[in-house]
Amino acid sequence: MSGLLTEAEFESIAGSIVLPSNAFINGKFMAAKSGKTTPTINPATGKVITEIAACQSEDVDFAVRKAREAFDSGVWSRMHPTDRKHVMIKLVKLMKRHRHELAVLESIDSGKPIVDCVEIDIPETMHCLAWHAEVADKLYDKVSPSGDDALGLIVREPIGVVACVLPWNFPLMMVGWKLGPALAVGNSVIIKPASQTNMSALKLAELSIEAGIPPGVLTVVTGDGSVAGKALGMHPDVNAISFTGSTVVGKRFLEYSAQSNLKRIVLELGGKNPCVVLDDAENLDYVAEHVARAVFWNMGQNCSSNSRLIVQKGIKDTLLEKVIEKTKDWRTGYPLNPANKLGSMVSKEHFDKVMHYIDIGKKEGASLIVGGEAIENGNGVYIAPTIFDGVSRDMTIAREEIFGPVLAVIEVESAAEALSVANDTEYGLQASLFTSNVNRAHRMARELQAGTVTVNCYGEGDITTPFGGYKQSGFGGRDNSLLAHDQYCETKTIWYDLSDNFIDADLS
């Protein structure tokens, strides 16, 4: 998708957009019944840009009731899959028409660089929704291998009312990852965006009316996680929660489920992902480019960020020199300037958290070799890409998810030690491996405890491959690919006994 405008043009769009502020329930925008709102701050400038409805449990109750009514009516859940596909594709076309507006909303809400919003977040969300729309009328159910005397149908049915509680790091893309498969199979979906980043989801909701998604089928409930998020988690009439965010809050959803109706819980959580570079890796310039991208992209606010570089001694110094050089490419600054590859952190609170980790790294004796400081830019919250060398596996910055542009470099003697350090974490979302030895690549890819292992590149696969974590990085399912639909379906067995004697009796 083309569309990089100039900074002035993006500013002009930002200045002319009517910023969304109300929740979207039953096909209409509405304030919270209490009238409460919370401010939204552009973290790149520190300015309050709008007030967003702070939904309470009464608003959540209303939203769930309307979602349930829509589901039970069959207006979407029993719509022919081909018709559902067409409606979803129309939504994607409308997104394409409004892509600049969506990109600018995403950027001013989250501090993300506009270049990423235009070239990655918005097009990938559209691709994701279109892909799942196309799946809607191509998913087949199954017949069991039960012999001639029986017919066992194994059919999928939409689970019902699905609530998606979302993070702020990829606001619209995470909507796409959840909404695409959940809508394609016929559910009513309630989105609860992160408090910092509501606007692109609300804009999508506006477009959904024109696309023809019936009222109640797509809902956006805004508001605080501990209020609106919890109310969804505890609600007796929500059938499934799909959550992306911190491991701490993810675990709460398991408690909510246990305390309410045993709703299905699917969690995509944090990571402390390793990038393992062995001394037979080829083309260290290329490796360095991937190492830098893996940790700095999106200001490191990425669950699959490779925040640990585990590198074999023989090539460490050469690689590190190249990584330091590549770091210069990650120009940090005002997000609406398309020349900047990195923008601001999402909030002052998160900025403080990351800076605190940088302090801990220094205090625990790691050697700060790049960055480590805030970048002054008005009231925005920017952090320079940062590299610590001399990190040991037990240091805090090697163990805890920082969620910032901070790389911890850990030197190892051997491939076996690299593997041991890589797996020495409570997380298991993603791992990258660089080696030219194909046997070793296969073996280590199997041994790395992560939901996705990329070999000789950094990445997450694509829409056709499942994404989710081992250990405390995930629970209950996978985003993306055809497996994503299973998260939002019940499985039903319909059994016919074909061996009836009465048929024989009738014939005689």
- Candidate residues 126, 165, 315, 387; the one interacting with ligand NDP per rule CB under 6 A: 165
Residues 292-331 that bind ligand NDP (CB under 6 A): 303
Residue spans of alpha helices (H) in 98-196: 99-110, 114-116, 122-135, 171-184
417 CB-near residues (< 8 Å, 6+ apart): none
Nearer to ligand NDP, 372 or 474 (CB): 474
Structure tokens belonging to residue 483: 């497996």
The number of beta carbons lying within 10 Å of the beta carbon of residue 246 is 15
Residue 136 is a binding residue for ligand NDP (CB under 6 A): no
- Candidate residues 106, 109, 401, 411; the one interacting with ligand NDP per rule CB under 6 A: 401
> Active site residue: 124, 268, 289, 401, which one?
268
Structure tokens belonging to residue 256: 């909510």
State the residue number with the nearest CB to ligand NDP.
225
Structure tokens belonging to residue 402: 């920082």
Structure tokens belonging to residue 358: 């940088």
Nearer to ligand NDP, 348 or 440 (CB): 348
Dihedral angle computed from the Cα positions of residues 428, 430, 433 and 439, in that order, rounded to the nearest 10 degrees: 70
Whether 268 is catalytic: yes
Nearer to ligand NDP, 44 or 231 (CB): 231
Contact (Cβ atoms closer than 8 angstroms) between residue 156 and residue 487: no
Residue spans of alpha helices (H) in 155-246: 171-184, 199-211, 230-234
- Rounded least distance, CB 469 to ligand NDP, Å: 9
Binding mask 343-382 for ligand NDP (x = CB under 6 A): ----------------------------------------
- Rounded least distance, CB 472 to ligand NDP, Å: 11
Return the closest-CA partner of residue 452 out of 442, 441, 439, 467: 467
Residue 476 is a binding residue for ligand NDP (CB under 6 A): no
Structure tokens belonging to residue 373: 């400081």
Whether 489 is catalytic: no
Residues 175-234 that bind ligand NDP (CB under 6 A): 192, 194-195, 224-226, 229-230, 233
- Rounded least distance, CB 243 to ligand NDP, Å: 7
Return the closest-CA partner of residue 251 out of 36, 426, 504: 426
- Rounded least distance, CB 388 to ligand NDP, Å: 18
* Enclosing H/E stretch for 434: strand 430-434
Beta 150-158 vs 161-165: how paired, if at all?
unpaired
- Rounded least distance, CB 181 to ligand NDP, Å: 18
> Active site residue: 303, 401, 411, 489, which one?
303
Binding residues for ligand NDP, rule: CB under 6 A, are 165-169, 192, 194-195, 224-226, 229-230, 233, 244-246, 249, 252, 268-270, 303, 401, 403
